């Protein structure tokens, strides 16, 4: 009972927050609503017994991604209302399209059943004594090593991409070159001259 109430609470809050993200006038508010949506989604995960994923969601998305968004939004002075000006005329058609898709999905949901073999096909850590995190750890590097490693490659590409697209080498920037500094010898840079009094150099 309590879990049901909690579920609907979290679910409704998630949907509400998601709507607010795209309707809020102030971009900072949007990001804050996004954080709210993430929190509620984390709540849903906890209800499912997936506390690890819930915590990761909070740490990564709320703690890092959303805050990064917040910084970007605050630092770049973008007028979102201007950007959104043209989009308003697409609301009716968007509503119609979304409505149809929604109706169809509801239709599917109503008539939903699972395949006879579906229950046998499930791969779940049935061992209840094991903790969530440990269970994930057990399969992540064994059964799912392939997906895991390819994900790693994706992240590598993402990193390369980010560097390629943003890194700029500006001329005229003075950098510290430690090797050069260490290699400096007095005789290269110093010139000892005898100064005759009264004459100057």
Partner 1 sequence: MELLAVFPPLLAFLLAFLLGRRLGDRFAQIVTCTGVVVAALASCALFIHVVFGNDMQGDPRTIVLMHWMTSGDFKVDWALKIDQLTVVMMCVVNIVSACVHIYSVGYMSHDESKERFMSYLSLFTFAMLMLVTSDNLVQLFFGWEGVGVASYLLIGFWNQKNSANSAAIKAFLVNRVGDFGLALGIFATFAVFGTVHMDTIFAMAPEKAALTYHFLGMDIHALTLICVLLFIGAMGKSAQLGLHTWLPDAMEGPTPVSALIHAATMVTAGVFLVARMSPVFEYAPTALMLVTLVGATTAFVAATIGMTQFDIKRVIAYSTMSQLGYMFFALGVSAYGAAIFHLMTHAFFKALLFLGAGSVIHALHHEQDMRNMGGVWKKIPATYVLMWIGSLALAGMPFFAGFYSKDIILESAFADHTWFGNYAFWMGIAAALMTAFYSARLLFMTFHGKPRMDHHTYDHAHESPPSMLSPLMILAVGALFAGFFGYESFVGSGAGASSHATQVVATENVVIEHDVEAPVVEESTHGHEWNRHAFWQDSLFVLPENDTLEGAHHVPLWVKLLPIIIGALGLLLGAVFYGWKTGLPQKVVSAFNPIHTLFYNKWFFDEAYHAAFVTNALRLGRAFWQGDKNIVDGLGPDGVANTSQRVAGVLSRFQSGYVFQYALIMILGLIALVTWMFFKMVTGQA
Partner 2 sequence: MSDFSLSSLMPLAPELFLAVAGMVLLVVGAFMGNRSLRLISWASVVCYGIAAVMVVSGDGGRAETLGGMFVMDGYAELIKIFILVGLAVSAILSIQYLYQEQILKFEYPILILFSGIGMMLMVSAHDLLSLYVALELQSLSLYVLAAIRRTHLRSAESGMKYFILGAISSGVLLFGISLIYGYTGTTNFALIGQALGAEISLGALIGMVFILAGLAFKVSAVPFHMWTPDVYEGAPTSVTAFFALVPKLAALGLIARLVFEPFYPLQDDWVQIIWILSAASMLVGAFAGLRQENIKRLLAYSSIGNMGYALMGIAAGTTAGLSGLIFYMAVYMIMTAGTFAVILSMRRQDVNLEKISDLAGLSHHMPKLAYILAILMFSMSGIPPLAGFFGKFVIFQSAMESHLYVLAVIGVLTSVVSAYYYLRVIKVMFFDTPAEPYDGHISWGRWIVLAGSVGFILLFIISPSSLLDICRTAAVYLIPSSLS
CB nearer partner 2, residue 117 or residue 193: 117
Q: How far is the CB of 81 from partner 1 (least distance, A)?
A: 16
Minimum distance, C-beta of residue 104 to partner 1, in the bound complex (Å)? 6
**DSSP character for 87?**
G
Rounded Cα distance, 143 and 52, in Å: 19
DSSP-derived letter for residue 175 is: -
Minimal CA–CA distance to 46: which of 80, 9, 71?
Answer: 9
- Cβ proximity to partner 1, 49 vs 99, nearer residue: 99
Report the C-alpha gap between 41 and 33 in whole angstroms: 12
Least spacing, CB of residue 160 vs partner 2, in Å: 5
Q: Which residues bind partner 1 (CB under 8 A)?
A: 87, 90, 93-94, 97, 100-101, 104, 107
For the window 58-97, what string marks contact with partner 2 as x by the rule CB under 8 A?
Answer: ----------------------------------------
Can you give the C-alpha Rg of the chain in angstroms? Answer: 29
CA 143-146-150 angle, to 5 degrees, is 145
Q: Which is nearer to partner 2, 9 or 65 (CB)?
A: 65
Rounded Cα–Cα distance for residues 84 and 32 (Å): 19
Which positions touch partner 2 (CB under 8 A)?
Answer: 104, 107-108, 111-123, 138-139, 142-147, 150-151, 153-154, 156-158, 160-161, 163-165
């Amino acid at each position: 009972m309590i879990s049901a109430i909690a579920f609907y609470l979290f679910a409704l809050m998630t949907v509400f927050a998601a709507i607010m993200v795209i309707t809020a006038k102030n971009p900072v508010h949007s990001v804050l609503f996004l954080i709210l949506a993430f929190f509620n989604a984390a709540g849903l995960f906890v209800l499912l017994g997936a506390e690890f994923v819930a915590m990761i969601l909070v740490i990564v998305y709320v703690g890092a991604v959303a805050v990064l968004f917040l910084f970007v939004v605050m630092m770049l002075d973008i007028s979102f209302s201007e950007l959104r000006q043209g989009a308003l005329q697409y609301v009716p058609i968007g509503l119609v399209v979304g409505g149809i898709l929604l109706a169809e999905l509801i239709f599917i949901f109503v008539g939903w059943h699972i395949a006879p073999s579906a229950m046998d096909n499930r791969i779940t850590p049935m061992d209840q004594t094991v903790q969530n995190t440990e269970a994930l750890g057990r399969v992540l590097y064994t059964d799912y090593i392939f997906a895991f490693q390819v994900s790693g490659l994706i992240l590598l590409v993402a990193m390369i991409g980010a560097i390629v697209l943003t890194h700029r080498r500006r001329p005229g920037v003075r950098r510290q070159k430690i090797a050069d500094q260490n290699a400096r010898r007095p005789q290269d840079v110093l010139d000892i001259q005898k100064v005759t009094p009264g004459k100057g150099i």
